Copies of this chain bind each other. A is one copy, B any other.
Amino acid sequence: MKALTVVRSVADLRRAVAEHRSAGRTIGLVPTMGALHEGHVSLVQGALDRGDVPVASIFVNPTQFGPNEDFGAYPRDEAGDFAKLEAAGCRIAYAPVVEEMYPGPQLTTITVAGLTDHLCGPFRPGHFQGVATVVCKLLMMAMPDRGYFGEKDYQQLQVLKRMARDLNMPIEIVGMPTVREPDGLAMSSRNRYLAPSERKTALALYRGLNAVADAVRDGRASCSPVAERAAQALLEAGFDTVEYLTVVDAESLAPLDRVRGPARVAAAARLGRTRLIDNIAV
């Protein structure tokens, strides 16, 4: 097992990356908020599969949390994260303090219009601006060849792909399939918030998405009544609220009446104090 180098500053990150670059290697950045699970490990593996030296960042970014969200409670386990990264074959872990990422007021922000009007956008005002801006910063710090993100956060992935394309970054944004628990629940750092009874209920989310995908796949059914019935079923299964459960165009994320091309069923629902999101291809 090759050793993991832990760096805390942009300067040290750039030095560590430059060493691999000067040896002719390509770089793959895996931005994370820590509390790593097998989904993150699959992103590191994705980088290795493409021949990139995997570099992971661990930073719980305050600017992408709303005032009533779980920034303070977000799980942190740095030592465990480093162990998982090293075991996965990651070579550099960049774990900056907030002051290294935001040494002064961040006056510059990146907005991706359109894509953020749908799904989580209206429920998390400012969230995608925070995500786009911090990911741009991380990309500029590491200057990788590729950045790896999970399809679990499908809207985030589309926003970041669009940002990289619109700003002509010489960086490819790679989306990797969602990793699931054996029973189908999408892996998420927030799953550890779930009480055992909630953990059972949570499975209804993935089941509901599959039921909708099956019902609308052939393009004959109108999506919204199907999705509404599935949302109702989530509430009956024990979810407290369903923020959205909807069928959207796979690229523009605009709601679809009928499926005619690549589409995604996506949902966000609350179970106790936990907000879960998931999505699947149609």
- Once bound together, how far apart are the Cα atoms of A141 and B167, in whole Å? 9
Known: A10-B168, A108-B113. 12 other contacts (CB 8 A): A108-B111, A108-B112, A108-B132, A109-B110, A109-B111, A109-B113, A133-B167, A137-B166, A137-B168, A140-B167, A140-B170, A143-B170
Can you tell how many copies of this chain the complex includes?
2
Q: With both chains docked as a complex, state the minimum distance between the C-beta of A104 and any C-beta of chain B, in angstroms.
A: 8
A35 at the B interface (CB under 8 A): no
Residues of B within 8 A of A110 (CB): 108-111, 167
Q: With both chains docked as a complex, state the minimum distance between the C-beta of A123 and any C-beta of chain B, in angstroms.
A: 20
For the complex, would chain A's binding face be called helix, strand, loop or mixed by DSSP majority? mixed
- Once bound together, how far apart are the Cα atoms of A163 and B14, in whole Å? 19
Tell me the A residues contacting B by CB distance below 8 Å.
10, 14, 105-115, 132-133, 136-137, 140-141, 143, 162-163, 166-170
Residues of B within 8 A of A168 (CB): 10, 137, 140-141
Contact of A167 among B108, B115, B170 (CB under 8 A): B108
Residues of B within 8 A of A109 (CB): 110-111, 113
